[in-house]
Structure 1
Amino acid sequence: MRTEPENRPGRVLVVGRSPQVLTDTVDLLRANGYSADATNRFGQVVDDYDVSALDVLVFGGMVPAETKEQLRATVRDRNPRVVFVQGLAGIPGLISAQVQAATTTEPPAIGAVGYDPDQRTVRFTLREPAHVTVAAWWLTSVVPPEPRSASMRVLDERRPAGSHTVALPERVPSTASFAALTVGSFARVFTVGPMPTAVTRLAPASATDNRLPPVREVTTRSDDQ
C-alpha cells in the first residue's frame, strides 16, 4: 500500500531474519514516507541504532522470544514512547500495513470496522464518502530463510457514506493469510487464516537456538537512501 501516512513516525526499525523480506520492507516503508531501517543482527541492535529516536520497533516472527523480551526491556528503558509491533508474517506489504495501522489515527470518515471470520468479510462504516482499499496477502512458501507470498487488491474505489461489506475471494486461502482496510491515512489489519503450527514451531527460543540455517547479514542505514 502506498498511502501517505498523515501522522507518520520519525523512524521505524524492523528486526527480523529473512534478508530479502527486510530489504523489501525497508524499500516499501521508505517509499510510503517513513524513515525506515532493518536488521537481522539481533545482538547489535542497540549498538547499531539510536533506539532512543525510534517511534516504532517491529519484530519478525523468527526473532527468538528471549531476544525480543530483552530488546523490549532495553529499548523501553531508553525510549518509553516507542511502539512495539509484532509482525504477523514475513510479507513486506503486510508489515508496511501494520506499521501504518500502528502509527495513524482514525480519521473522521471511518466508523465501525471489523472482520467476520465466518463470512470472510471485511465490514466498515463510513461517516462520509471516502476512497477505500482492501488488500490481502498470504504465504505461498515458508521454507527458510526466505518465505514467499502472494497478494491481491480486493477493493480500490470510492464508497459512499454508510455500512459496507467486502467479501474476500476464494483465492485468499484459509491459512497464513491476512487482509488490511485502508481509508485515507487509517489502516486496520486482520488475520484471515492463522499461521500453521509447523511454521510457528520454527521460531527459535533463544539466541543460542540454531534450528534455522544461517543467513546473510542485513543492517540498513536511513542516510544511505
Structure 2
Amino acid sequence: MIARVLIVGRSPSVLMTAVQLLRDKGFQADVTNQFDSVLDDYDVAELDVVVFGGMVPPETKQYLREEIARRNDRVAVVQGLAGIPGVIAAQVEAVAYRDLPEVGEVTYEEGRRVVRVVLGGEGGAEGDGLSQVSIEALWGTSFTPPEPTSTSEKVFEGELAAGVHEIAVPDQVPDMASFAVVTVGPQVRVFTVGAMPQSVMRMVPTSAEDQRLPGVAAVTTHSDDS
C-alpha cells in the first residue's frame, strides 16, 4: 500500500523539501500552508497520515484534527517535532511502517547521548544474521522565520550482527533543536537529542488572527495532478 500523506505547515522551503523526500520514498504526499482551505483542497477521508507543523495555531490545529478524525477514523495524526524536512519525513515513515515486524529494539539514552540498538536474542528479533542500520543526526542552524534552516550528518551506516550495540552521537551535534533518525531494517525511529529553544516556542501564533510571523508564499500541492 502507498501511504497518502498530508503535511500542514508554514515554511514553503521546509514543506517542499519534506514532500519531495517522501515522494522519493514512494509516498503519495502533499503539503499545504493554506490552513483555512485544507478541508476543501483535500479529500481527508482518503488520507493515511496527517502531520501538523509547530507553527500551526493551536485552535486551527484542534479544529482540523477534529474535522479530519470525524471524516476519517483511521488516519494517523502526527505532531511535527521541528521545521526540519528530514525529521518530518522520518516521522511519517515511523508511523507508516509501525505495523511491520520489528528487527530489533532501539532506544536513546539522553544523558549519555548514545543510541542503543539490540539485535537478535535480547531484542526479540529472530535469527543471528546481519541487519542494516543507519543513524542520521539532524539539527537546526537558523530559526529566523519564515524559512528556518538545518543540516545533517550521517552518524552510522552499515550492517550489525546480533547483540547490543551502542553508538554515540558526535559532539558536533548541538544539544538544542537536534534529532536522531535511526533506521533498522524497515523500522524507523526518531529521537530528540536537544529540545527546541524557548525562543522558537514563543514564535508559535496563539490564534489564527495572530500576525506575529512574517507572511509566506502560498503552497498547496496535489500529488495526483497529471
TM-score where L is the length of structure 2 = 0.93
Could you tell me how far apart the structure 1 residues matched to 2:19 and 2:104 are? 31
Aligned to 1:221: 222
Could you tell me how far apart the structure 1 residues matched to 2:8 and 2:52 are? 5
Could you tell me how far apart the structure 2 residues matched to 1:108 and 1:212 are? 43
Dislocated runs of 4+, deviation >6 Å:
none
In structure 1, the residue corresponding to 2:88 is in which secondary structure? helix
Deviation at 1:183, TM superposition (A): 1.2
- The residue type equivalent to 2:84 in the other structure is I
Deviation at 1:184, TM superposition (A): 1.8
Aligned to 1:4: none
Aligned to 2:199: 198
The 5 A counterparts of 1:143-158 are 143-158=144-159
2:58 matched to 1:57? no
2:89 matched to 1:88? no
Q: Give per-residue Cα distances to partners, 1:22-51, cap 9 Å, x unaligned.
A: 111111100000000000000000000000
Q: Give per-residue Cα distances to partners, 1:175-212, cap 9 Å, x unaligned.
A: 00000110122101000000000001100111111110
Q: Give per-residue Cα distances to partners, 1:126-162, cap 9 Å, x unaligned.
A: 1242010001100000000000001011000000011
Could you tell me how far apart the structure 2 residues matched to 1:125 and 1:85 are? 26
Could you tell me how far apart the structure 2 residues matched to 1:71 and 1:90 are? 20
Could you tell me how far apart the structure 1 residues matched to 2:102 and 2:65 are? 34
Q: Give per-residue Cα distances to partners, 1:96-137, cap 9 Å, x unaligned.
A: 110011111365562322100111001011124201000110
Q: Is the 8 A contact 2:103 2:185 kept in 1?
A: no
Could you tell me how far apart the structure 1 residues matched to 2:22 and 2:116 are? 26
Name the count of aligned residue pairs: 218
Could you tell me how far apart the structure 1 residues matched to 2:178 and 2:192 are? 6
Could you tell me how far apart the structure 1 residues matched to 2:59 and 2:24 are? 32
Could you tell me how far apart the structure 2 residues matched to 1:8 and 1:199 are? 34
Aligned to 1:72: 65
Of the three residues 36, 44, 68, the one matched with 2:37 is 44
Aligned to 1:208: 209
Q: Is the 8 A contact 1:110 1:124 kept in 2?
A: no
Q: Is the 8 A contact 2:102 2:187 kept in 1?
A: no
Deviation at 1:224, TM superposition (A): 3.5
Could you tell me how far apart the structure 2 residues matched to 1:108 and 1:64 are? 36
Could you tell me how far apart the structure 2 residues matched to 1:44 and 1:114 are? 39
Aligned to 2:137: 136
Aligned to 2:106: 113
Evaluate the alpha carbon distance shift between residue 203 and residue 18 of structure 1 in structure 2; reply closer, same or farther with a 3 A threshold: same
In structure 1, the residue corresponding to 2:224 is in which secondary structure? helix
Could you tell me how far apart the structure 1 residues matched to 2:72 and 2:101 are? 30
TM-score where L is the length of structure 1 = 0.94
- The residue type equivalent to 2:20 in the other structure is D
Unpaired runs of at least 5, structure 2:
121-127
Aligned to 1:188: 189
Sequence identity percentage: 54
- The residue type equivalent to 2:49 in the other structure is V
